[in-house]
Amino acid sequence: MAIDLKDVNFHYPEEPNQRVLHIPSWTLSAGEQVFIHGPSGGGKSTLLSVLSGLFLPSEGQVNVLGQRLDQMTSRRRDRFRARHIGYMFQQFNLIPYLNAFDNIRLASQFSQQKKTPELHEEIQKLLSVLNISANDWYRPARHLSIGQQQRVAIARALINKPELLIADEPTSSLDPLNKEAFMGVLLSIVAENDITLVFVSHDLSLSNYFNRIESLSDINRPEGSA
């Protein structure tokens, strides 16, 4: 089981009376790719932050890749996230003043895995697979197009060979053509490496890339009994 949630409650510390998440039970098996859709403000991003261990649930069990995130110290959660989880945002996935190469290298620094001498080659390989031409590797990220940035973001998210990839509306700033290219390359890499994928979007047209499709409102019932 890649993800196993039980009786997870979450509210933001500033608003203790407004429960954002209430998930009685939800599971995702390893290697599965799920598409979660829901309205804006429904709690999608909040759920992903809980799954990645950025937020601790107010109550409940969060089991990710066989580890109880809710029982870890924040330091272990940070390390766990660095080693096992790749994460992508809608935008601002790269440090704008670092080049693509260094952005990916930076991500590999926090995993504290043995520095493989092949890191350099690995980054190059990933970038080529993602169709980033070599003369864009050493340009500051802010000079890349949005589509290029999002593809570099895939490389950045995958450099530590995570078992779980979390994507928070990574396509919403892309035009249809780029979107298609992005989805194609993302899903082929994920399938090739047996990566579990949680993909969140309100864009239902993307659902045909997935075989498991869920509506957040089915998983999450914040107004239900506490």
Partner 1 sequence: MFGKLALQSLLDRKGSVVLSLMAMTVSIFVLLGVEHIRHQTKENFSNTVSGVDLIVGARTGSLNLLLYSVFRVGAPTNNISWETYKTIANTTKVKWAIPISLGDSHKGFRVLGTSSDYFEHYSYGSQHHLSFIKGKAFHQVFDVVLGSTVAKKLGYQLGDKLTLAHGITATSFSLHDDRPFTVVGILAPTGTPVDQTLHVSLQGIEAIHIDWQQGVKMPGSTITQAELEQAELQPKSVTAFMLGLESKMATFRVQRAINNYTKEPLLAILPGVALSELWQMMSILENTLLLVSALVFIAACLGVSAMLLSSIRERNREIQLLRVIGAPAYFLFFLIELEALLIALLSCVLATGLLAACLVFLQDYLVSHFGLHIGINFLTENNLYLMLAMICASAIVAIIPSFSGYHQARTVKH
Residues in contact with partner 1 by the rule CB under 8 A: 13, 45-46, 48-49, 52, 54, 74-75, 78-79, 81-83, 87, 89, 92-98, 102, 105-107, 109-111, 156, 168
Rounded to whole angstroms, how far apart are CA atoms 42 and 36?
Answer: 11
94 touches, from ligand ATP, Mg ion, partner 1, none (C-beta below 5 to 8 Å by class)? partner 1
CA nearest to 156, candidates 188, 198, 111, 199:
111
In the complex with Mg ion, the residue whose CB is nearer, 9 or 45, is 45
The residue range among 35-43, 96-104, 157-165, 173-181 that interacts with ligand ATP, by the rule CB under 6 A, is 35-43
Please report, as ranges, the residues that interact with Mg ion according to CB under 5 A: 45
In the complex with ligand ATP, the residue whose CB is nearer, 43 or 162, is 43
Q: What residues contact residue 221 under an 8 Å CB cut-off, 6+ apart?
A: 22, 23, 24
Query: Strand, coil or helix: what is 63?
Result: strand
- Taking the complex as a whole, the smallest distance from the CB of residue 176 to partner 1 amounts, in Å, to 26
Question: Cβ(160)–Cβ(122) under 8 Å?
Answer: no
| 221 forms part of the interface with ligand ATP (CB under 6 A) | no
Helices (H), 67-142: 74-84, 100-109, 119-129
